[in-house]
Amino acid sequence: MKVEKLCNFYASKYHLSIILLEYLKEKNAKKSKVTTFMQDEIEDELNVLIDKYKYNIDNTKDINFKVTKDILKKEINLAKNNIFIVQGNLDYIREANEYILENLQKNTNAKIINCYNFAYQKLYMKDIISKSDKILFTTGEKVID
């Protein structure tokens, strides 16, 4: 089992939506199973961006960007390659990460993308970054040195 943790800091739901659309387009999300844990829904923002900028929705049409109310009841369909997108406050992200790691199997690869609202988590950025392997920007992933 190989788990890679990425962190992302976003300014608004639209900003987060653009980052995720670009990332999923670049990584060709069809090659991975994408599962989301969202404390705040971003489906409306995604749809506005898809309509306005004509994003190719083939990579995202099967991904649920609605609120995940009960993390422990979320079904995880594992594949060989998994991308988990987790968005919320510190406690929500911690709980979702624990649940994901408990349910991963030995022969799977996983990327966990933890998305934090910059305005609410800016005091904890140093700690968040130190516990991550990479940072996800609009332009892609950057290894943390």
19-32 pLDDT, tens digit each = 999 898 887 666 78
The pLDDT assigned to 12 comes to 96
Q: Tokens in use for 1?
A: 């089992």
pLDDT of residue 43: 92
Average pLDDT, the chain: 90
Q: Which fold has domain 2-143?
A: Rossmann fold (3.40.50)
Q: Where are the domains of the chain?
A: 2-143
Q: DSSP for 94-114?
A: HHHHHHHHHH--TT-EEEEEE
Output the pLDDT for position 52.
86
Q: DSSP letter at 11? A: S
Q: For residue 61, name the pLDDT band (cuts at 50, 70, 90).
A: confident
